Amino acid sequence: MNDFGPAIGQPVDRVDGRLKVTGGARYSAEVPVANVAHGVLITSAIAAGSIQAMHTDFAAALPGVIAVITPFNAMALSHPPAGNGAGSRNPVTNLSLLQDTDIYYANQPIGIVVAETLEQAQHAARIVRVDYAAARPKIDWKNEKRHAYAPARIMGGPPDYRRGDFDRGSSSAPVHVSQTYSTPYENHNPMEPHATIALWDGSSLTLYDSTQGIFGVKQTLAHVFGLPPDNVRVVCHFLGGGFGCKGSVWSHVPLAAMAAKQVERPVKLVVSRSQMFGPVGFRPRTEQVISLAASTGGALAAVKHDVTSETSVFGEFVEPSAAATRMLYATDNCATSQRLVRLNTGTPTFMRAPGESSGTYAIEAAMDELAYSLGMDPLKLRLANYAEKDPESGKPWSEKSLLMCYLQGAERFGWSRRSVAPRSMHTSDGLLLGWGLATATYPARRSPSSALARVLADGTGYAAAGSQDLGTGTYTIMTQIAADAIGLPVSVVRFDLGDTRLPATPGSGGSQTAASTGSAVFEAGMAVRAKAIAAAVADKQSPLFGLSPDAVGVSAGRMFAKTNPLLAETYGNLLTRQGLPSLEALVTSRPDQEAAQDYSAHSFGAVFVEVSVDPDFGRVQVKRVVGAYDIGRALNAKTATSQLMGGIVWGIGMALLEETVYDPHYARVVNADLAEYLVPVNADVPPIEVVFIEDPDFNFDPLGARGIGEIGITGVVAAIANAVYHATGKRVRDLPITLDKVV
């Protein structure tokens, strides 16, 4: 089952590449729908209080305006939002669906204008006047932090974790580091903003939605409108970036469907760039206190990681930043905690490696500080605390090659040439030079998933699964997997995704698509192969008649006797002779529960970074990055490299640029656009080298692959922060690392 064909792992070009570069790939807002009207959200100007009145007469009378929908005339929903109910199981708790007049955050959707053209809808939305009863928003982090509370659960477990005795371990150790690290509110800004087209046919609803989870949208919309799930179809063939923000259903999706229902026409709603700030989630602010205790030889005697993060006043989201700390290094004594602070913001959400990105920054910066306190090389400190098994669960790893990541990454980077003392290295033009490293990690996840595979009489293959392609190459790797499993060249296999009429799959989040849906596609393809072989060995007219199925191999659509390859026939010949248009198999693949009980599955990496810092002006520039990764098997060498490079680039932004800024009085975002919310551009991105440690993880799934969408950002931020310290001797513990903090 683990003998792969010629496609898996190869740097196959994207099968959807031509469509994308020629404009043939239609994103959700580009799907042609007859008689479509345009919707534009009206959002709140205050962050707390209520709406007293909305003056819509002038807007409604404008040319082309079809409707102005507000809390005062919106249709009643079958299952409205739960309101201020943190922890509610109601899937629409965090949504604003015009069922009341309460305001919880600035930029909250409070209405929708529908018009014949986008420009008419935008103009009408701008002139709607709103009377508010404003309250003082809770936005002062320092003040509200006094009311921090423990969530009931975090990742299915309690908010506090204990292993061993931290106090005893700490008191017996001679070397200590205890520091506070903070990360800011950060915003999603994918190239494609959120977009939905909704159209009704009687009581049936079709949505073209930019989403990471078509089946989650289907379930939520069926719930909101009281429909049988089979009455809702969701389509998403192409996604212009998701990264977590499109993993949940946000207010604009049911609002588009509501508007379409009320005006009795299809409605297209595209969220504006400024409306990406608040209504569709963000990475929450964190404050993390790390305490490390170690022997003089560097062995960790005790580790403590206390996290405080923000959530909204009407919903609850936990950024689990201490999760990596519990499993990353070998220590008998570990304690972590998680607390939440309620603010008048939108509800936070998943953002590439939620928890691990912010958490690895804190623990890996603290490990660097410990290394300096010990007078020890930061790489040697990590090697001294290498965990041969999962310290949290006590289970062996399903596969772990982090040691090789450290060694190969260090060799490629030239780490042995590093001068130890801060401010001791310089560039040829007199800038300060710094080298830093950090460990990367992300849990391996796999969920049940279904897929269909088919071989046709014309010798081609077909596979399908609901799923989504976030732009990371899912179309391509699934085609490769299907081709090898069925036994056909990639060039004659087609793979479909992005429609709830296809076999059900999990959402594309948590780096689980390759392992979950990929395993289903693989098993479906193998099932079709087995059906074809069984048909051939039972067919008296087949050259393979009478052979054991195990004695038959397949290559390039040709079934052959392993002991005599001249005894062979193609899939096409078999199906044509038997008068069959195709053979197919529908498979639901599930994780091996026994293996899940026996092993701990994580991916790992080591990130090495060089920065230069202007000693006069504090300008930091990343000069080069080497990242070595243990991800099991890379299913496509080209797309895998691109994903990891993309994560590293985002880590540069998280370390040096990204921060959402609030007005302290009105709780409105003041940099809600790409002019002032800074993200890396080409000039910020240095040469990046990605190294794979190829060691397939067959304990985890039949492909030996673990997801890679998120591990690329982990560790990068800390490696940059550590390099900045090495260059300057100044430790910045409050992200982003801007020049005013360095000078």
pLDDT at 138: 98
Would residue 436 count as lying in a domain?
yes
Q: pLDDT tens digit string along 659-684?
A: 999 999 999 999 999 999 999 999 99
CA neighbor of 79 nearest in space, from 267, 260, 246, 249? 249
Residue 1 is predicted with a pLDDT of 40
Encoding tokens for residue 415? 């780490």
Residue 4 CA to residue 2 CA, distance in Å, equals 6
631 plus 716 within the same structural domain:
yes
pTM value > 0.95? yes
Domain presence at residue 620: yes
C-alpha span between 247 and 449 (Å, rounded): 17
- The gap from C-alpha 560 to its chain's centroid, in whole angstroms, comes to 43
| Nearest-angstrom CA–CA distance, 649 and 680 | 7
Q: Specify the number of domains making up the chain.
A: 3
325 occurs within a structural domain: no
Q: Residue 2 pLDDT > 50, yes or no?
A: no
Report the percent of the chain where pLDDT is more than 70.
Answer: 98
Q: For residue 630, give every residue at least 6 positions away whose Cβ sits within 8 Å of its Cβ, in sequence order, or none.
A: 399, 400, 401, 402, 404, 405, 603, 604, 605, 693, 695
Residue 394 covered by a domain = yes
Tokens of 465: 């699964």
Burial status of residue 669 (CB atoms within 10 A of its CB: 0-12, 13-18, 19 or more):
buried
543 plus 622 within the same structural domain: no
- Cα-atom radius of gyration of the chain, to the nearest Å? 27
Give the list of residues 6+ apart from residue 533 with CB closer than 8 angstroms, or none: 544, 549, 552, 554, 559
Please give the average per-residue pLDDT across 605-624, as a whole number. 98
Statement to judge: residues 517 and 370 lie in one domain: no
At residue 155, the pLDDT reads 86
Q: How many residues does this entry show for the chain?
A: 743
651 and 710, same domain (yes or no) = yes
Residue 86 clears pLDDT 70, i.e. is over it? no
CA angle 18, 636, 683 (to 5 degrees): 70
Ramachandran angles phi, psi of 39, nearest 5°: -110, 140
Q: Would you place residue 83 in the very low, low, confident or very high pLDDT band (cuts 50, 70, 90)?
A: very low
Q: Is 271 in the same domain as 362? A: no
What pLDDT does 558 receive? 97
Tell me the C-alpha distance between 699 and 133, whole Å.
Answer: 59
**Rounded-to-integer distance, Cα 16 and Cα 577, Å:** 34
Q: What is the pLDDT of residues 147-165, one digit of tens each?
A: 999 999 998 899 999 999 9
Among 230, 254, 276, the domain-final residue is 276
Amino acid at 599: Y
What does the longest C-alpha to C-alpha distance in the chain come to? 85
pLDDT surpasses 90 at 4: no
Whether 482 and 552 map to the same domain: the answer is yes
Asked if the structure places residue 640 within a domain, the reply is yes
Cis peptide before 591 (omega within 30 of 0): no
Q: What is the pLDDT of residue 84?
A: 38
pLDDT averaged over every residue in the chain: 96
Residue 452's CATH number: 3.30.365.10
Which among 171, 66, 184, 173 has a CA at the least distance from the CA of 118? 66
Q: What whole-number percentage of the chain has pLDDT above 90?
A: 97
- The pLDDT value recorded for residue 89 is 39
In a domain, 517, yes or no: yes
Helix ranges (H only) for 274-355 are 325-328
Mark which of 556, 590, 624 sits at the end of a domain: 590
Per-residue confidence (pLDDT) for residue 379, from 0 to 100: 98
Residues 121 and 37 in one domain: yes
Spell out the residues 6+ positions from residue 355 whose beta carbon is closer than 8 angstroms to its own.
Answer: 319, 320, 321, 322, 323, 324
Q: Convert the pLDDT of each residue in 216-261 to its tens digit.
A: 999 999 999 999 999 999 999 999 999 999 999 999 999 999 999 9
How does pLDDT run across 684-713, given as a tens digit for each residue? 999 999 999 989 999 999 999 999 999 999
Residue 78 binned pLDDT confidence (cut-offs 50, 70, 90): confident
Residue 650 carries which DSSP code? H
Identify residue 418 by its one-letter amino acid code.
R
Side chain identity at residue 407, one-letter code? L
372-378 long-range contacts, Cβ below 8 Å, gap at least 24?
373/175, 373/176, 373/177, 374/175, 374/294, 374/296, 374/298, 376/298, 377/418, 377/420, 378/436, 378/437, 378/722
Structure token pair of residue 528: 């079709």
Q: Is 270 in contact with 352 (CB distance < 8 Å)?
A: no
Q: What is the mean pLDDT of residues 409-426?
A: 98
**340 lies in a domain?**
no
419 and 456 in a common domain: no
Confidence of residue 5 (pLDDT cuts 50, 70, 90): confident
What mean pLDDT do residues 440-450 have? 98
pLDDT band at 87 (very low <50, low <70, confident <90, very high): very low
**Residue 200 and residue 90 share a domain:** yes
Which residues, at least 6 apart from 146, have a Cβ–Cβ distance to it below 8 Å?
none
Domain that holds residue 385: 355-445+597-742
710 has catalytic annotation: yes
- DSSP per-residue codes, 353-392: STTHHHHHHHHHHHHHHHHHHHT--HHHHHHHTB-SB-TT
Name 461's bridge partners.
455, 493
Q: Where a domain ends, among 590, 622, 650? A: 590
Q: Which amino acid is at 290?
A: I
pLDDT, tens digit, for every residue of 35-63? 999 999 999 999 999 999 999 999 999 99
Q: Is 309 inside a domain boundary?
A: no
**438/479 same-domain check:** no
Q: What pLDDT digit, counting tens, does each position of 617-661 carry?
A: 999 999 999 999 999 999 999 999 999 999 999 999 999 999 999
The pLDDT of 487-507, averaged and rounded, is 98
301-327 confidence digits (pLDDT tens): 999 999 999 999 999 999 999 999 999
438 and 526 assigned to the same domain = no
Q: Note whether 132 and 259 are same-domain residues.
A: yes
